[in-house]
C-alpha cells in the first residue's frame, strides 16, 4: 500500500522510471486479460498501449478512492468494450441466454477441453469478460463489481449465465 502510494506520487510527478515500473508490473497481465476478452493479440496490445497512455495523462485526476490496479483495469475493460462495440460483437443478452437453470447442478461431466476452448472464445464477450476476470484474474465478485461499476447481483447473474452457456454446449457436444 505504501509502495503503491509512492508509485502514484512518482507517476503524478511524471517520472519516467515510475511509468516503466507500472508497465512492468501490470503490462503483461493486462495484455493477457485484454487478449482473452478481445480474442486478438494485436488489438489487445493497442488497448494496453492506449490504457497506459491514458493512465499517465490522467493520473493527476486519479482520486485514489479505488486501487490503482482497479482504476487501470477499468480503463482497459472500457477500451476493450469500445473495440468490441465497433466490431458489433455484442449481442443482446436475451439472444444469448440459454435458459436451463438445472444445468449448474446437473453436470458432473467429462469436460471436452477443445470444445470448451472453442466455446469460451465464441461466446458473447459480455460473459467472457466476467469469466476472464473471475477465473483468470481471480478477482472476487465484489472486485469485479467495483471494477465494472455494476451491482454484485448483476455480476453473479452474468457469471452464472456464462457458466451455463458453456455447460449447455458441453452437454450438447457443441452447437
For another protein, the binding residue among 41, 85, 87, 151 (CB under 8 A) is 41
| Window contacting another protein (CB under 8 A); options: 51-59, 78-86, 92-100, 144-152 | 51-59
Q: Does 154 interact with another protein (rule: CB under 8 A)? A: no
Q: Does 52 interact with another protein (rule: CB under 8 A)? A: yes
SS3 105: helix
Alpha carbons 108 and 48: distance in angstroms, whole number: 38
Q: In the bound complex, what is the minimum distance in angstroms from residue 102's beta carbon to another protein?
A: 15
Q: Does 135 interact with another protein (rule: CB under 8 A)? A: yes
For another protein, the binding residue among 93, 136, 172, 174 (CB under 8 A) is 136
The three three-digit cell numbers of residue 76, written as one number: 482497459
Q: In the bound complex, what is the minimum distance in angstroms from residue 2's beta carbon to another protein?
A: 19
* Whole-Å CA distances, 54 to 13, 30, 89: 15, 14, 24
CA dihedral 43→45→49→54, nearest 10 degrees, is 50
Amino acid at each position: 500500500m505504501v509502495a503503491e502510494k509512492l508509485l502514484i506520487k512518482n507517476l503524478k510527478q511524471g517520472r519516467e522510471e515510475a511509468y516503466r515500473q507500472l508497465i512492468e508490473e501490470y503490462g503483461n497481465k493486462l495484455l493477457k486479460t485484454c487478449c482473452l476478452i478481445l480474442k486478438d493479440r494485436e488489438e489487445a496490445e493497442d488497448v494496453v498501449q492506449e490504457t497506459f497512455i491514458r493512465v499517465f495523462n490522467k493520473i493527476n485526476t486519479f482520486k485514489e478512492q479505488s486501487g490503482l490496479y482497479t482504476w487501470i483495469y477499468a480503463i482497459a475493460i472500457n477500451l476493450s468494450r469500445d473495440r468490441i462495440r465497433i466490431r458489433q460483437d455484442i449481442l443482446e443478452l436475451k439472444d444469448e441466454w440459454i435458459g436451463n437453470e438445472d444445468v449448474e447442478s446437473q453436470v458432473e461431466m467429462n469436460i471436452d477441453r477443445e470444445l470448451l476452448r472453442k466455446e469460451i472464445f465464441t461466446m458473447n464477450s459480455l460473459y467472457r469478460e466476467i469469466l476472464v476476470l473471475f477465473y483468470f484474474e481471480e478477482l472476487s465478485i465484489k472486485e469485479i463489481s467495483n471494477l465494472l461499476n455494476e451491482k454484485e447481483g448483476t455480476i453473479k447473474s452474468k457469471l452464472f449465465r456464462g457458466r451455463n452457456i458453456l455447460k449447455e454446449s458441453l452437454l450438447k457436444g457443441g452447437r
